[in-house]
Amino acid sequence: MRGAFRDVTPDFRAHVAGQVTHHCDGRVSALTDGATSALAYAMQLVAGENGTVALPGFGCVDLLAAALFARVTVVTYDIDPATLTPDLDAVRRVVGEGIDALVIAPLYGFPIDVDAVRRITAMAGVPVIEDAAQGAGGACRGRRIGTSGDLVVLSFGRGKGLSTGRGGALVSRHADFDGRVRDLAATLSAGDAGWRDWTVNAAVWALARPTLFAIPSAVPSLRLGEMVYHEAHAPRAMGDRAVALLPDALRDGVRDAAQRGVIAQRLRSAIEPTCGSHLPAPLPDSSGGWLRLPLLDETGRGASPPLGIVRSYPLPIRAMPEGRAILRDRHAPEPGADQLARRLLTLPTHRFVTTPVIDRIRLWASA
């Protein structure tokens, strides 16, 4: 957290943007105030107003917020509950129906076989926007989440694998988009002081401890674990404190992902024999970033917020009321997305999940 006190000069901001570009194996990047605004800009850049964008059938409502701001039409494709990855037959269907861009959004650090997706989109000349907000260090065949899309969106908000409290980035990995992303970066060359970002990051770090998390989880107005809709807006500059913290977040990302992986495997070993539910697993030849441990609950046990166990997104994208005006087909069958909305719980994997906490989670799982 001491990095927050760095002096954020224009040269330092440009240096950090270069680090982000390198992190995504990209060409140019713009540091934004959040991932949703970056995603909205990406949709506008690729699809244009009134274009059609394909979204995963299960995910955060921020996907729809970005699409609404971008003024695009949305279609959705199904997700495989066993791996949390796109159903490739569903991807073929939406590409065949005609789209201008396809968004992939890895869930909880579970990597996607982007090569398989791109073999489908390339035949139709459809660009891929990789929303790597939940990437958290996951990789498929050695290729890290956030290094495969034509455009890549990153999030540095609370609860993400690379957290500065707030902020995001848009990275171009294709020459066709370099100019527009470079122009965006030029207009976002200065941010506010951003001390709120530092305060949020410090509070998240402190309250992540299970012994303390029960306190905010008991306050209904905080709406922890809920999916809350926020309207998107045009990208703004990332605050200075978030920029100051970003080099440390990028440096520590690999270490943090490894720590989460160890805790995720300990949790799996503890609860798999007793939970009576299915634990999704990453694709073969891939490694999860384990931002959270997903569990398909088949017993109806329900969430336990004091333990950090929360329900995932409660509705598939096509059923979210915010999307009524822009969804092209709200009735396409998506059994995978429906199952995830009904049954998916997620468990914490951060470094404060100690042996006593795992024992308490084991008791919850066996109840």
Given a cut of 50, the residues of the chain with pLDDT beneath it are: 215-224
Task: Give the C-alpha separation, 316 to 118, whole Å.
Answer: 24
User: Residue 24 gets which letter from DSSP?
Assistant: T
Place of tokens 């059938």: 57
Task: Give the C-alpha separation, 274 to 218, whole Å.
Answer: 28
For residue 355, what are the contacts with CB-CB under 8 A and spacing of at least 6? none
Task: Give the C-alpha separation, 136 to 271, whole Å.
Answer: 23
Spatial CA neighbour of 104 closest among 130, 82, 83: 130
Overall pTM > 0.85:
yes
Task: Give the C-alpha separation, 121 to 128, whole Å.
Answer: 8
Q: Decide: 361 and 267 in contact? Cβ < 8 Å.
A: yes
- Which runs of consecutive H residues, i.e. helices, occur in 290-354? 335-343
The first and second tokens of residue 135, run together, are 């990437």
Q: What is the pLDDT of residue 180?
A: 97
Q: What is the pLDDT of residue 208?
A: 52
The first and second tokens of residue 13, run together, are 């901001």
User: Residue 323 gets which letter from DSSP?
Assistant: G
Residue 294 three-state SS:
strand
Helix (H) or strand (E) holding 130: strand 128-131
For residue 329, the tally of other CB atoms under 10 A from its CB is: 11
The first and second tokens of residue 89, run together, are 């037959």
Sequence letter at residue 92 = R
For residue 278, what are the contacts with CB-CB under 8 A and spacing of at least 6? 81, 82, 295, 296, 298
Beta-ladder partners of 309: 304
Place of tokens 């970005």: 66
User: Residue 319 gets which letter from DSSP?
Assistant: G
Output b/e per residue, 266-286; b: 16+ Cβ within 10 A: bbbebbeeebebbbbebbeeb
Task: Give the C-alpha separation, 343 to 71, whole Å.
Answer: 32
Task: Give the C-alpha separation, 75 to 54, whole Å.
Answer: 5
For residue 300, what are the contacts with CB-CB under 8 A and spacing of at least 6? none
- Burial of 138: CB neighbours in 10 Å, binned 0-12, 13-18, 19+: buried
The first and second tokens of residue 62, run together, are 């921020």
Q: What is the pLDDT of residue 110?
A: 97
For residue 282, how many C-alpha atoms fall within 13 Å in the half-sphere facing its CB? 28
Task: Give the C-alpha separation, 18 to 130, whole Å.
Answer: 19
Q: What is the pLDDT of residue 209?
A: 52
